[in-house]
Structure 1
Amino acid sequence: MRLVLKLLKWLTIAGIAIVAAVAIGIAIFTGTATFRNLLKTRVNVYIAQTYQGQLSVGKIEGSIWGNLILRDVRLQYRGSEAAFIPVLRAGYGLLPIFGGELDIYSLVAERPTLQLTQGSDGQWNLLQALTPRSPSGGSSSFAIRVGGLKLEHACAEIVPRSGKAIWIREAQLAAALTIGKPGMRFAVKRLTAAIGMPGYPDSTVEGNFTYATVDHPSGAIPELHLALRTRLSSATLDAQASNLGAKQFDATIAVKTLAAADLNLFVANAPLTKNLSGTAHLTANTLKAVDLDLNIAAGQGRIAGRAKADLTATEPIYNATLQLHQLDVHGLIAATIARNIPAGAIDGTVQANGRGKTIAGLEAEANLQDRGLALAGYQFGNLTLEGHFKQKVAALDAKLSSRAGHADLAGKIDINGAAKYNLQLAVKQLELNRMARQKSVPAGKLNLTARVQGVGANPATMAAAVHLICLPSTLGPARIDRGRIDARVANGVLHISDGLFSAKDSILSARGEVTLTGQHRGRLHYTLRSANLQPWLAIAGRPGGGAIAVAGVAAGSPQALRLSGAADFSRIRFERYAVDSGHLTYDVGGIGGPTQAMRGQLTIGLEGVNAGMPLKSFHATVKSRSGRTADVAVTINAVQTATRSLALAGDLVYQPRRTTLRLAALALSTDAGNWRLQNPAVVALAGQSLKISGLELASDDQHVSIEGTVANNGAQQLEAKIERLRLSPIAGLLAQNPGLSGIVSAQIKIAGTAGAPLVRIGAEANDLQLGGIHYQGLSTTLDYAGTRVSIALAFMQDPAHHLDLSGTVPLQLSWIHGFAHQLGGGVDLIASSRGLDLAFLNVLNPGAVKDIKGTLTLNVALHGALRHPEPTGYLALNGGQFLIKPLAVRVNHGNLRLELAPRQIKLVALSADAEDGNLSGKGLVTLSDYAPEQADLTVSLHKWPAIATRQFNATVNGNLSCAGPIDAPNITGQIDVLHGLYRPDLDLLGEKTYKADHTIVVSDSWNQPAPAPGESTQNGNTQSRAGSMFRYVGLQIEVLIGRNNWIKNDQSEVNIDGKLRVSKANHGELGIWGVIHTVQGTLVLVGKTFTVNRGSIRFTGGSQFDPLLDLMGQYSVGRYQIIANLTGLASKPVLTLSSLPTLPQSDILSVLMFGKPASQLTSGQQQGLQQQALSMAAGAATAQLGKSVAQALGVQNLGLTMSNGGLGVGHYLTDNVYVSGSQATTSGQGQSGSVTVYLTPHLNLNTSASTSSQVGNQIELNWQWEY
């Protein structure tokens, strides 16, 4: 027994050793490459036999006992790769397998790539590849748990059947999976990925969710959170579903920002311009109770809605409410679409409930207000809309209200079967121009009522009646007194039983039938009579007028319409055109059909026509004959005068791809002879080929002819000739005859081919006369061949004065594929003249410069590339004379020389003489691409008459320079105004300034006057109205005004001097700074001449040029001195009167006007004080007399003045010596004279002598200083 036990012991030990050895051997073997290759082969074979796809493993590493690494795992389906995993790591436990559980505690796929493609049958390749080849024989009892499922840096491309690929990049997934008898649970703890699609914004998704069937076999989603973001938008989804089978869920979509740019990529038909935001909350206990809450913000608008539904019934039951607040749909949509969508802020509520899936079970009610309704540029105002819908019947009531009028629309629409409708419209005081706010829409007020009742909307089958009444209305200057339309539509025909609109002097009526389809024929009678077209043309914004009467019939169908009738018109005026009287008859059929089907006749006769060319009469007849071709016969007779007329007769034939004009007769009578067509002529246009045959006009020895063919292919042969054509009759037809006469002969020849034509043009004009100036002649020749045009031109004024131009210009012509020309290559032109008399410019330029004389010599060459030719040579003006009309300055002698170079124009010399003065200049202007770039010019003036008009006269010295970019030059320098006379339009010194006005103050003492209420001492800055070119100019000019300068008007004169600075920055406003002082002078107020003792006119800058005035004058009456102060802005001066010694206010005016205080006036004088003041204000008449005397004596610059007290004269002998004298004209006659010597600007010596005993002889030394 012991031996047996011992044997068993050794056997057990041996067995254990064997098992251990086998286990060790298996462990060692399974770790070898041989085993892993064997395992890889068996796995590949098993998968290939089990699944429809081809799954292969490139390499297996690790141990099968718990940690395996699979490399290069590929899944292919039908020859294409569906998935590829470079590295797949699996960590699992073997012992739980014996308990019926597969425990994979780690499954990691690194950088997997998926290629999902949907086939034409709708199946996805990946799912098909993993489908078993044969159904499973039973169910597995294994429980599967994957504790750490990860995808790292995954990529996928998803290509649905539509072909629009979706890509996923850098996807990260961390999840857990449990599958067992209680059910399945799949929990995604973290999911991130980048998603993109061509043409759509890139986006990222991030979130987590859980799906389980543990509690409910149909599934549940305990949690779901997803966040989607693009560069511009972001949204989140939070949801729970406790029982998917019972449809129990709660989901909320929150949109923080839905960018318009993103949404427009998906909704291209209605592109938004505003971002959206909001929430949508959807809950369901079951499908029997589904709730939706909606809140959306769009721009300034809000949309809130709530809906409930029972979706379990055969006919779903639902109710919903939608609230709108400040919703402007027009403002949300892009302009290209929005122009057809009304604008305005919509507020209101829409409620709906119903049963079923069709509109028959719907009931709805709407109450909406649209504030600021606008469409197509019209501002309609506020719209209120109330609507009801029940049993497929809609009732509406819309009211439009605004300052521009009111409109109401009410009625019902029944859509049971064919649509039935009954609508009423009322418009009251509707002003379309106020709504449109456009000048093109005329003013007016519209009043009307209308009613439409009927069935159907198809013109062929509808039955409807329209009743419209137009109440008294206005449209622009036209007034509509009444109007009425009664019509009905039946069987495709519109029956108008009454159509009438009546206005002052006008009436329009229509009665009859108009067919709306081609199955019937209509007949409509219409009349129009208007004795005054002016208001109707004014509605269209066109000037004109006249009277018209039209009566006719329109018969047939839209495809074969016939119009017949007659019209008479008289005194027609339309813009620049006019007709005294006329008559028109017409009878044309086949309108609306093919062109060749038209037939009929139109005859028109006009008398007293002015259409740019006056005609005594114009008559025309057009006859059209239907047939295989459209054949139109035309006759025209026009008469201008007894010796000027036109007669034409011919046929115009339209054929497919061919139009032919056959001229049977053409006669043109002119003052110089009669032109006639020598033979019938034919002009035919067939496709791109023009052929002219027999076109020849002749008048005595004058001939014009055209013969030949021009086409877009093949040989060309066309010749046009003009022989001895007299120009004077042609010039007589022009609205402004320039006095042109002469004889012209010319010839044009076209040969070669359409791709390489040859063109020669030759012309000559002899015995030319223009504006009364005779010219010897003009000849020119142009030859085109190959790629160049040769030019030769000679203009001969007389044997000594002529201009020659010759050379070549690169040009390529062709009309084989339509007319085409191309300029390229090098240009070579030379223009020269030894002397060209410029007198002809007086005819060509009858504007600001007149009486032009002088000789122009030139020698200019242009060489080089056509786009960048290089000019060289010179232009010179000698003995130039002209009158600058706006300045009244006549230049007696002027010389100019310009030298041209490729990059500059050099002003070599400029000189001119005018009166006793002269100017000179020189400089340089550089060029860039043949446009002036930089300027450097200087001009010197010496006693130059800057202006010599009746209003202004000034003589100046000065030096000016212009430098800098030509588009923003800077002009600097100094101007000395030696002497001048200025008569401004401002009436600051005349009597009209001092009529009754609150700015006139009479004070009883001599104090500094206060500024007027609201007066500012600063000039306002306003936008400069100078031209756009002047805007860029910079100015820095100092103006010195000498003492011999005067400001005068009809009654007063003031001697001035001063210094001004004119400044303007580039792109800035013009400003003037400085002070003008009054040296001496007189100021006439209410007929009395005040002596100006001191004064200033101060410019403080700004572009309004409204200087500050400070003038003081004195007038002596007996022992009284009346003092007048003129202050304030020149645009609104303030006059203050005071006296020494001090007088009451009433006495100041009495002494000024009557020479004695008011207390010394008689009762009649006191009562007539105002009338006496008006009668004594006669200074304007005496001043006008003084001006006339001065002009008659030729001493208008001597300072001659006249008043009701005497006559005076004064003149500067030099800049610093002023001599004056006067002669009294009153009963106390006397003479006086004075000499004033200005020692310094502030010190002067005055000596005077008088025959009056009250004045005597005086000598004064005066010191003046402005504080």
Structure 2
Amino acid sequence: MKKTIKYIYRIFLGVILILILIVILAGVLVQTDYFHKKLPPILEKQASKYINGKLSIGSVDGSLFSGLIVRNVLLKSNLDTIAFISEINAGYNLLPLFWGKLEISSVKLDHPYIFLQQINDSTWNLQQILKPSNALPDDTISSSGSIEIDITKVQIVEGLIKIETSDTLIPREIGHLNSKFSLNYAKQKQKIILQEFSLQTKSPDLNLKKLSFELTRNQEIIELKNLYLKTTQNQLKGKGRYYTKDKMQASADIQTEPVHLSEFEYFLKGIKIPVTPGFKFDASIKNDSLVATIDLKDHDESIHLNLALANFPNLVYHQADSLISYKLNGKLVNVNLKRWAGLNDMNYIINGNVSAQGKGISPSTAVAAVHGNLKDLRIRDKTIQHIDFAFQLNRGFLKGNVQGRGEFGEFSVKPEITDVMGKRPTYMVDLVTRRLDLAQLTGVDSLRSSINMKAQLQGRGFDPKTMIAKANVLIFESQMSGIGLDTVMASVGYSNENIQLDSLLVQTQTLNLKAKGNYSKRSNSDVVLSATIKSLDEFKSLIPIQGIQTSGKFDAHLSGMPNSLKFESQ
């Protein structure tokens, strides 16, 4: 037994000595010119097993055990050059492989060139370069994952990518591509430090001056630190954490210098937003709840938002909006919608607070409440002292109240809508105004007025072809363009594209007017009007003829089809 063990030991020792001798001989051999000449054809032949194309290598220098320099690496497919690298310089140490670690001190790619061509909506030429291969078995993948890889520095110098595609959002060229990063990979922990990344694109044009960050991952956490992004006009900083064992625990912090969206106007399709706000975003997820703070500030204008979102996993994994509970609080200071929305006709300045809370997003199933208190507003240079509003949505039923007061007077609106966002919702709206000045609202001085009004609208649907609606209006002790309106009463209905004038009464100091009937857009119309006029003194501002005077009674009758209306008057 002892002889057998001794014999096996000698054989094992002999095999080890032979392996060491082979390694020593290989180390000497690879330093020779013969090796440098024979290696490129070997690499080209091996590459042909994996790619649909031709790989050619100009020359190889260096040592197989400490580092290689590969020059003029060319990949072609048919007649097209897919990739070219003038020089690949790699330094490494193979000795730690005996302990399961690959050490690469440096990798440098000098002036790499890549040609990308989009063949169809989902396929690019590079996808067709690699030959299909059978997937590795699970045990092979898991065993290869046990090796540790440590790359001290990877550098890309002046890379160039040419792109052929019909997508106008994808640039035609990416040039001056430079990058420097380090990488450490182990089964339990991974880390990448991107020290530098920059590029310039053409058609559309964009200059990314610098991108850098530090990303680490282990069995418990993925952490992003020192994120920094700078373009010609914009700058961003950030950090974040994601706890892998608890899928719903994370945090993020992002802030920018004043954002100049004009730099990205090509991607915004003609939208021009003059505002340049600084942006701050702070969010965290814990116990299945998201809490976020958003701040936008441009000089003396600012928007501050606080958001709390419960049952966040339902939105991410199940997209079950009916299970989402949320709460939002917002504060607006001197927000000029003309600048923030980029719309010249929205010359509105808003100050105040807005809040919303509820459960669910779909109008048919959601339960929500929205409140707002806006003060010192400016609309087309007109001051609104305050607008208060409150809306409640309960599974398709919307109820609310809006009140406002300003230079234009006062108003109150109370809507109730059933089956909101449905095909034929039913609705009822109560409107009350006090001293309402239309000139202040419209900017037309000739509409100077002071209107006290009560109105109610109720109906079903909004499609003019199918809707049914009825409105009752009462105006009292009011003025319009210098005319005193003692009483205006109207009861009007609409159905089947017919306007049904149940009654109309207008009374001023010198005018008494009544009307009733039906006007149809498709069938027969029949409207009767009568008026008694004592004098025209009230209407001088509306009559272009000076000194005209009259009084009497006026009767009129409108009848007939839309294409042959008949008007009779006396």
Smaller-chain TM-score bracket: 0.7 to 0.9
Decide which moves more: 275-284 or 352-361.
352-361
Contact 1:115–1:156 (CA<8 Å) still a contact in 2? yes
Partner in structure 2 of residue 563 of structure 1: 566
Give 2:257's aligned amino acid: K
In structure 2, C-alpha distance between the alignment counterparts of 1:131 and 1:327, rounded to whole Å: 61
- 1:425 match: 431
For 2:227, the equivalent position in structure 1 comes to 226
The answer to whether the Cα contact below 8 Å between 1:380 and 1:402 also exists between their aligned partners in 2 is yes
Is the 1:327–1:345 Cα contact (8 Å) retained in structure 2? yes
How far apart, in 1, do the equivalents of 2:439 and 2:460 lie? 35
When residues 350 and 150 of structure 1 are mapped into structure 2, their CA distance, relative to the original with a 3 A threshold, is same
Do structure 1's residue 399 and structure 2's residue 403 form an aligned pair? Answer: yes
- From 498, 507, 511, give the equivalent of 1:502: 507
- Structure-1 residue corresponding to 2:333: 326
SS of 1:71 mapped into structure 2: strand
C-alpha change, 1:486 and 1:243, in structure 2 (3 Å) is: same
State the secondary structure of the residue aligned to 2:49. Answer: helix
Whether 1:526 aligns to 2:529 is yes
Describe the shift of the 1:192–1:556 C-alpha distance in structure 2 as closer, same or farther (beyond 3 A): farther
Task: State the alpha-carbon separation in 1 of the partners of residues 514 and 79 from structure 2.
Answer: 82
C-alpha contact 1:432 1:441 (8 A) present in aligned 2: no
Partner of 1:279: 280
In the TM superposition, what is the alpha-carbon distance from 1:515 to its structure 2 partner?
Answer: 2.3
Residue 225 of structure 1 aligns with an amino acid whose one-letter code is N
Unaligned runs of 5+ in 2: 1-16
Aligned: 1:198 with 2:203: yes
Determine if contact 1:430/1:447 at 8 Å carries over to the other structure.
yes
Cα shift readout 1:60-111 (whole Å, capped 9, x = no counterpart)? 2233342211112233456544432211001223444455544332221122
Q: State the Cα RMSD in Å.
A: 3.6
- CA separation of 1:391/1:200 partners in 2, compared to 1, >3 Å: closer, same or farther? farther
CA distance in 1, matches of 2:451, 2:219: 74
Displacement of 1:236 in angstroms is 1.8
Counterpart position of 1:67:
67
Separation in structure 2 between the aligned mates of residue 269 and residue 378 of structure 1, nearest angstrom: 30
Residues in 2 aligned to 1:554 and 1:201: alpha-carbon distance in whole angstroms: 66
Letter in 2 for 1:75: L
- The alignment status of 1:177 with 2:183, answered yes or no, reads yes
Q: For residues 159 and 247 of structure 1, what CA distance do their matches in structure 2 show?
A: 41
- How do residues 926-1075 of structure 1 correspond to structure 2 at under 5 angstroms? none
User: TM-score under structure 2 normalisation?
Assistant: 0.81
CA–CA separation in structure 1 for the residues paired with 2:372 and 2:27: 86
| C-alpha displacement of 1:420 | 2.0
> Higher relative contact order by CA 8 Å / sep ≥ 6: 1 or 2?
2
**Deviation of 1:364 (Å):** 1.7
Q: Deviations over 1:168-217 (max 9, x none)?
A: 4434333333445x2562412412313445356534332122243x526x
> Among 471, 475, 484, which residue is 2:480 paired with?
475
2:71–2:88 Cα contact (<8 Å) kept: yes
Conserved in 1, the CA contact under 8 Å of 2:384 and 2:407? no
CA distance in 1, matches of 2:499, 2:442: 32
1:484 to 467, 485, 489: 489
Residues 300 and 498 of structure 1, relative CA distance in 2, 3 Å threshold: same
Partner Cα separation in structure 2 for residue 94 and residue 60 of structure 1: 18
When residues 345 and 504 of structure 1 are mapped into structure 2, their CA distance, relative to the original with a 3 A threshold, is: same
1:530 is displaced (CA, Å) by 4.8
**In the alignment, structure 1 residue 538 sits paired with structure 2 residue 545:** no
Q: 1:25 to 1:436 in 2, by over 3 A?
A: closer
Deviation string 1:371-430 (CA, Å, 9 cap, x unpaired) is 23425x765553222332233222222222224422222232223553222211122222
Structure with higher Rg: it is 1
Change in Cα spacing, 1:466 to 1:84, as seen in structure 2 (3 Å) is same
- Counterparts of 2:216 and 2:165 in 1: how far apart (Å)? 26
* Partner Cα distance (1:53, 1:401) in 2: 75
Pair 1:527–1:116, CA change in 2 (3 A): farther
Q: Distance in 2 between matches of 1:160 and 1:476?
A: 63
Aligned partner of 2:310 in structure 1 is 309
Q: Deviations over 1:705-726 (max 9, x none)?
A: xxxxxxxxxxxxxxxxxxxxxx
Q: Does 2:376 match 1:371?
A: yes
- The alignment status of 1:146 with 2:151, answered yes or no, reads yes
Aligned residues: 536
Q: Using a 3 Å threshold, how does the CA distance of structure 1 residues 537 and 49 change in structure 2: closer, same or farther?
A: farther
CA offsets, 1:255-286, max 9 Å, x none? 22112534655445763222212311222246
Alignment of 1:717-1116 (within 5 A): none
CA 565–380 in structure 1, closer or farther in 2 if over 3 Å, else same: farther
- Structure 2 counterpart of 1:295: 295
Structure with greater strand percent: 1
Structure 2 counterparts to residues 52-91 of structure 1, below 5 A: 52=52, 54-76=54-76, 80-91=80-91
Question: 2:163, 2:359 → 1: CA distance?
Answer: 42
CA distance in 1, matches of 2:94, 2:546: 105
Structure 1 residue 544, shift from structure 2 partner: 6.6
With over 3 angstroms needed to count, the CA separation of the structure-2 counterparts of 1:424 and 1:66, relative to structure 1, is same
Query: Once the 2 structures are TM-superposed, how far is the Cα of residue 488 of structure 1 from its aligned partner?
Result: 1.7
Q: 2:520 aligns with which of 508, 511, 515?
A: 515
Q: 1:263 to 1:98 in 2, by over 3 A?
A: closer
Offset at 1:44?
Answer: 0.9
Tell me if structure 1 keeps the 8 A contact 2:457–2:470.
yes
Q: Percent identity?
A: 16
Measured at CA, do residues 157 and 308 of structure 1 come closer, stay the same or move farther in structure 2, by a change above 3 Å?
farther
Where does the alignment leave 5 or more consecutive residues of structure 1 unmatched? 1-15, 568-1267
Cα 1:296–1:177 change in 2 (3 A) is same
Paired with 1:156 and 1:184, the residues of 2 have a C-alpha distance of: 32
Q: Does 1:338 align with 2:341?
A: no
Distance 2:90 2:344 in 1: 60
In the superposition, relative to structure 1, how do residues 164 and 59 fare at CA in structure 2: closer, same or farther (>3 Å)?
farther
Alignment partners' CA distance in 1, 2:259 and 2:493: 52
SS at match of 2:74: strand
Q: CA deviation at 1:564?
A: 1.9
Deviations, residues 348-367 of structure 1 (Å, cap 9, x unaligned)? 22121204655522312212
Structure 1 pair 507–234 and aligned structure 2 pair: CA distance change class (3 A): farther
- Partner residue in 2 for 1:409: 413
What do residues 579-634 of structure 1 show as CA deviations (whole Å, max 9, x unaligned)?
Answer: xxxxxxxxxxxxxxxxxxxxxxxxxxxxxxxxxxxxxxxxxxxxxxxxxxxxxxxx
Match of 1:362 among 357, 360, 367: 367
Distance in 2, Cα, partners of 1:292 & 1:78: 53
Give the deviation of 1:296 after TM superposition. 2.1
Distance 1:399-1:21 versus aligned 2 partners, 3 A rule = closer
293-302 or 91-100, larger mean C-alpha shift: 91-100
Q: Which moved more, 1:259-268 or 1:393-402?
A: 259-268
Partner Cα distance (2:239, 2:545) in 1: 67
Letter in 1 for 2:489: R
Distance 1:553 1:420 in 2: 34
The two structures have a TM-score, normalised by structure 1, of: 0.39
1:154–1:467 CA distance, 2 compared to 1 (3 A):
same
Equivalent residue letter for 1:91: G
User: What amino acid maps onto 1:398 in structure 2?
Assistant: V
Does the C-alpha gap of structure 1 residues 301 and 91 become closer, same or farther in structure 2, counting only changes over 3 Å? closer
Residue type matched to 1:238 in 2?
K
